[in-house]
């Protein structure tokens, strides 16, 4: 069993450290600080923490006002509320004036689990990627989360960072270095490429391991920066391997797969397959039950790879 | 497209503007036209009334030239903006990003013609640029754009968002140990938006006292009277119940407005709402209380009639 790590906890601890280092860091939450883990910062720096209550639109507006006055504003709530609930506020107050607001959303995807569809964010990447000027990042584990949060604080402009509820297997070593806009090659291979984000990265590595025993060597890319996309890495992978599969805990439309497909179609057309949620809401259940039910498994990634590889031109 | 003669659009301000006086004094530098009235011994409120008339003429000329825009809700807030830009605000037209400036945030973004007219008459923009309102490549976008217009604090036009933004700006003053004040102008119809009340609740909760909301209460919104479209009453009681200090004034009375702004400055520990009772289309007989001019520009003939009334 691989070591498990909490991306939320990594976020909360990193915020606290950033708070000590930089007096311009401010944090806002919408009555979920115990879940988003902004509670650490709240206890450490109560003067710089603003609990806005259950009012996400107001929270985003206040964050924008603080950012326009020189602050680096982190605003957190669940992913479903951090995007859809306050989309126009993100559009008008944050994206258009390109303000220094870092929306760090937890409980992304269906692995929220038992709370069901109202709390499962399946379209947040499509929404955030459609905001001009936003950087959109989905860290794969706690090691990467810490570095992503630091990069967001250090880089001017709006960010959307999606974290999950459950602990995830650690997939990156401690000497891993996150670079904004760059994919990380976690496994080299020349028969097909699996481009994955978030919880699907560990599943992509499992699928690649299994496929290698069947004689198919997969390259695995951790595409944590969903926007701006690492076009170079995708084009290189398509050219080198001739087949590309994407894997994400998000709707098939408008997420990682759609964005990667656009790059592949434009620069290096090869067969593709997509492991993602289909056009429907999910139900209640445990995280693992839901991932099985909706096909977000290493077995599905394997099938997708076989499909894409079978369509390669001989 | 109605092209006004250039001399109608250019007031005396462009030709006669002199360098800004001591910028630490309250109120931006008024145009030469405005100052000359001070020199002639007019009372300060008469002076501001003259400026208000100039702003009204700009609103008519700008929207008529553009062939679109929102004259009604611009005209209703003229005295509010006049008091702020020519008396109350601590700001420097020569340094729009001056860190200690008072902030004015237009939440009812459709009153852009009024804001641009005030920014021009205080020296943030050339008065001659006003005739480019809503044109391709103009800095004067249909609704204000923070990224392209000096003096515009917030991109707006989607209603209900300015007060939240203003709270963030006001909280930053506290964190940065600065003593600037934040003024947010809202429309009354805008208060249909739920976010306004999220903001209202939180401003009182955070005990923000460097924040003033001014509500241009002209009682009209696009589909008709407030009371018919979405009843706001009891409107002052609502602000009071949300923890605000509330002042009701005649929003066209300069002295009442200045007194209200002064009263707001004295309030400690809570924000102030100035509910300014106004008349939509104020100053132009056929526009007053006529909701048709919410989002419709005057025709060339109407503009001529309006400018004669405002002569």
Query: pLDDT tens digit string along A206-264?
Result: 999 999 999 999 999 999 999 999 999 999 999 999 999 999 999 999 999 999 999 99
Nearest to B161 among A47, A61, A73 (CB): A61
pLDDT at residue A126 in the model: 98
Pairwise CB contact (< 8 Å): A65 & B167: yes
| Bridge partner residues of A74 (DSSP) | A27, A102
CA pair distance A125, A53, nearest whole angstrom: 24
Backbone angles phi, psi at B104, to 5 degrees: -110, 125
Sheet of B211-217, strands arranged across: B103-106, B182-187, B211-217, B272-277, B245-250
- Span B140-151, mean pLDDT? 97
Cα separation, A44 vs A46, whole angstroms: 6
Chain A contact probe: residue of B103, B104, B164, B170 with most A CBs at under 10 A: B164
d(CA B124, CA B144): 14
CB within 8 Å: A88 and B157:
no
> Using 50, 70 and 90 to split pLDDT, how confident is the model at B153?
very high
Lowest-confidence pick of A183-197, B41-55, B227-241, B273-287: B41-55
**Percent of chain A with pLDDT strictly greater than 70:** 99
What is the set of active-site residues of A? 56
pLDDT level of residue A77 (50, 70, 90 thresholds): very high
Please give the pLDDT value at position B24.
40
Neighbour order of strands in the sheet with A184-187: A184-187, A218-222, A192-196, A244-251, A272-277
Average pLDDT over residues B132-145: 97
A69 with B145: Cβ contact below 8 A:
no
pLDDT at A76 over 60: yes
Confidence of residue A140 (pLDDT cuts 50, 70, 90): very high
Q: What is the pLDDT of residue B38?
A: 46
Q: Looking at the predicted structure, is the pLDDT value of residue B29 above 70?
A: no
What gap in Å lies between CA B264 and CA A240, rounded to an integer? 68
Distance CA B38, CA B36 (A): 5
Report H helices in B40-92.
Answer: 44-66, 71-75, 78-83
- pLDDT for A2 equals 73
Of A26, A61, A67, the CB nearest to B164: A61
Say yes or no to pLDDT of B3 above 50: no
**Secondary structure of residue A121 in the 3-state scheme:** strand
In chain B, the residue whose alpha carbon lies closest to the alpha carbon of A57 is B195
Q: Which residues of A touch B158 (CB under 8 A)?
A: 88, 91-92
In angstroms, rounded to a whole number, what is the distance separating the alpha carbons of residues A171 and A196? 12
Residues from B in contact with A at Cβ < 8 Å? 145-147, 153-158, 160-161, 163-173, 175-176, 194-195, 198-199, 201-202, 205-206
Burial call A186-224: b when 16+ CB within 10 Å, e when fewer: bbebebbbbbbbbbbbbbbbbbbebbeeeebebbbbbbb
Nearest residue on chain A to B109, alpha-carbon basis: A92
- Say what the pLDDT of residue A3 is: 86
- Decide: B121 and B127 in contact? Cβ < 8 Å: yes
pLDDT for position B18:
35
Check if the beta carbon of residue B64 is closer than 8 Å to that of residue B299: yes
Question: What radius of gyration, in Å, describes the C-alpha atoms of chain B?
Answer: 18
User: Quick check: A94 pLDDT over 90?
Assistant: yes
Report the C-alpha gap between B67 and B134 in whole angstroms.
Answer: 9
Instruction: Please write the tens of the pLDDT for every residue from B231-267.
Output: 999 999 999 999 999 999 999 999 999 999 999 999 9
Bridge partners for B186 per DSSP: B215
Tokens read off for A34? 């115990």
* Domain residue ranges of chain B, discontinuous segments joined by +: 6-15+34-309
Which 3 state secondary structure label does DSSP give B161? coil
Distance between CA atoms of residues A242 and B13, nearest Å: 68
Give dist(CA A138, CA A226) in Å, integer.
7
CB A148 within 8 A of CB A158: no
> b or e along B58-85 (b: 16 or more beta carbons within 10 Å of the residue's beta carbon)?
bbbbbbbbbbebbbbbbbbbbbbbbbbb
Interface mutation vs chain B, best among A69, A71, A96, A100, most B CBs within 10 Å? A69
The partner residue sitting opposite A57, judged by closest CB among B169, B198, B205, is: B198
pLDDT of residue B102 exceeding 60, the answer is: yes
Q: For B161, which of A48, A69, A89 is closest by C-beta distance?
A: A89
Reply yes or no on whether the pLDDT at B23 is more than 50. no
Structural fold of domain B6-15+34-309: Rossmann fold (3.40.50)
SS3 assignment, position B117: helix
The yes-or-no verdict on residue B79 having pLDDT over 50 is yes
pLDDT at B80: 98
Q: Which of A48, A64, A98 sits opposite B168 (nearest CB)?
A: A64
CB within 8 Å: A55 and B155: no
Q: What is the mean pLDDT of residues B214-223?
A: 97
The DSSP bridge pattern shows strands A4-5 and A49-51 to be unpaired
* A106 or B20, higher pLDDT: A106
CB pairs under 8 A between A and B: 106
User: Residue B165's closest CA among A27, A84, A26, A67?
Assistant: A67
Tell whether A75 is within 8 A of chain B (Cβ). Answer: no
Contact residues, chain B, for A69 at CB < 8 Å: 168-169, 172-173, 176
Assess whether pLDDT exceeds 70 at residue A205: yes
Strands (E), chain B: 103-106, 182-187, 211-217, 220-221, 224-225, 245-250, 272-277
- pTM reported for the whole predicted model: 0.94
Question: For the segment B33-74, what is each residue's pLDDT rounded down to a tens digit?
Answer: 444 444 556 788 999 999 999 999 999 999 999 999 999 999
pLDDT score, position B20? 37
Q: Above pLDDT 90, what percent of chain A?
A: 98
Structure tokens at A12: 């909360």
Give the residue-averaged pLDDT of B123-138: 97
């Amino acid at each position: 069993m691989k070591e498990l790590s909490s991306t939320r906890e990594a976020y909360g601890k990193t915020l606290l450290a950033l708070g000590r280092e930089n007096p311009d860091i401010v944090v806002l939450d919408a009555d979920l600080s115990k879940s988003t883990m902004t509670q650490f910062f709240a206890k450490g720096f109560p003067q710089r923490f603003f609990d806005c209550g259950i009012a996400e639109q107001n929270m985003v507006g206040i964050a924008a006002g603080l950012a326009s006055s020189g602050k680096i504003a982190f605003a957190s709530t669940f992913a479903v509320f951090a995007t859809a609930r306050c989309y126009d506020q993100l559009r008008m107050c944050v994206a258009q004036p390109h303000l220094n607001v870092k929306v760090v959303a937890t409980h992304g995807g269906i692995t929220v689990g038992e709370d069901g569809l109202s709390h499962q964010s399946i379209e947040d990447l499509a929404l955030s990627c459609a905001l001009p000027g936003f950087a959109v990042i989905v860290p794969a584990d706690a090691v990467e989360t810490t570095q992503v949060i630091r990069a967001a604080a250090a880089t001017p402009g709006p960010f959307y960072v999606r974290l999950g509820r459950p602990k995830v297997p650690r997939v990156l070593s401690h000497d891993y270095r996150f670079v904004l806009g760059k994919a990380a090659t976690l496994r080299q291979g020349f028969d097909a490429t699996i481009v994955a984000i978030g919880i699907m990265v560990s599943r992509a590595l499992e699928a690649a391991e299994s496929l290698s025993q069947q004689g198919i060597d997969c390259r695995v890319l951790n595409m944590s920066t969903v926007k701006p996309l690492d076009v170079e890495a995708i084009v290189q992978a398509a050219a080198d391997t001739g087949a590309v599969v994407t894997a994400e805990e998000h709707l098939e439309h408008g997420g990682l797969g759609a964005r990667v497909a656009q790059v592949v179609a434009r620069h290096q057309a090869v067969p593709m397959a997509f492991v993602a949620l289909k056009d429907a809401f999910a139900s209640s259940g445990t995280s693992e039950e839901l991932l099985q039910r909706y096909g977000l498994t290493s077995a599905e990634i394997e099938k997708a790879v076989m499909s894409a590889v079978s369509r390669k031109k001989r | 497209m109605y092209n006004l003669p250039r001399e109608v659009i250019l007031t005396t301000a462009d030709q006669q503007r002199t360098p800004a006086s001591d910028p630490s004094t309250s109120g931006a530098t008024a145009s030469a036209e405005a100052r000359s009235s001070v020199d002639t011994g007019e009372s300060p409120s008469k002076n501001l009334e003259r400026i208000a008339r100039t702003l009204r003429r700009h609103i008519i000329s700008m929207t008529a030239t553009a062939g679109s825009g929102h004259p009604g809700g611009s005209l209703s807030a003229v005295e509010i903006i006049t008091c702020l830009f020519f008396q109350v605000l601590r700001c420097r037209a020569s340094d729009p990003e001056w860190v200690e400036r008072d902030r004015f945030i237009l939440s009812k973004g459709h009153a852009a013609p009024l804001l641009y007219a005030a920014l021009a008459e205080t020296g943030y923009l050339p008065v001659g640029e006003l005739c480019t309102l809503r044109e391709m490549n103009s800095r004067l976008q249909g609704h204000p754009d923070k990224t392209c217009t000096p003096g515009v604090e917030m991109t707006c036009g989607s209603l209900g968002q300015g007060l939240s933004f203003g709270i963030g700006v006001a909280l930053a003053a506290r964190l940065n140990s600065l003593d600037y004040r934040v003024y947010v102008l809202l429309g009354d119809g805008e208060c249909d938006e739920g976010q306004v009340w999220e903001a209202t609740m939180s401003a009182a909760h955070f005990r923000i006292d460097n924040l003033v909301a001014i509500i241009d209460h002209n009682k009209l919104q696009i589909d008709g009277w407030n009371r018919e479209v979405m009843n706001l009453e009891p409107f002052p009681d609502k602000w009071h119940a949300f923890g605000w200090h509330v002042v009701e004034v005649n929003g066209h009375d300069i002295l009442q407005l200045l007194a209200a702004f002064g009263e707001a400055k004295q309030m400690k520990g809570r924000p102030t709402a100035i509910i300014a009772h106004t008349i939509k289309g104020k100053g132009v007989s056929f526009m007053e209380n006529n909701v048709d001019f919410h989002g419709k520009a005057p025709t060339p003939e109407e503009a001529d009639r309006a400018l004669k009334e405002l002569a």
